[in-house]
Amino acid sequence: MSAERLERMCQDSIEDIPRDNLVDIRGVKIDSSLPGTLRMLQYIEQIQNPYNFLCDGTPVHISFVDEEKELSKVLTGYFCALK
């Protein structure tokens, strides 16, 4: 899979992708005895679109930000804001 294709997938809106084109992540099986690079390739081959997929029938879109915040600090801020 090319970097250009991955970039296009990242930009796709989950609402614009027909559900029939999304793979349910629950069906993805990874051989844990493989090295990390091969596990990643196995995942991408099975999931087809690592940014848009289904989880128990629910459409999921994954995105990442360039900010370098630690998860623990983000969660602490979130829960403090709920008070």
Tens digits of residue pLDDT in 10-61 = 888 889 999 999 999 999 999 999 999 999 999 999 999 999 999 999 999 9
Is a pLDDT exceeding 80 seen at residue 7?
Answer: yes
The pLDDT of residue 30: 96
DSSP state of 17: S
CA distance 62 to 11: 10
The pLDDT of residue 75: 84
DSSP state of 32: T
CA distance 23 to 15: 15
What is the average pLDDT across 61-67?
Answer: 80
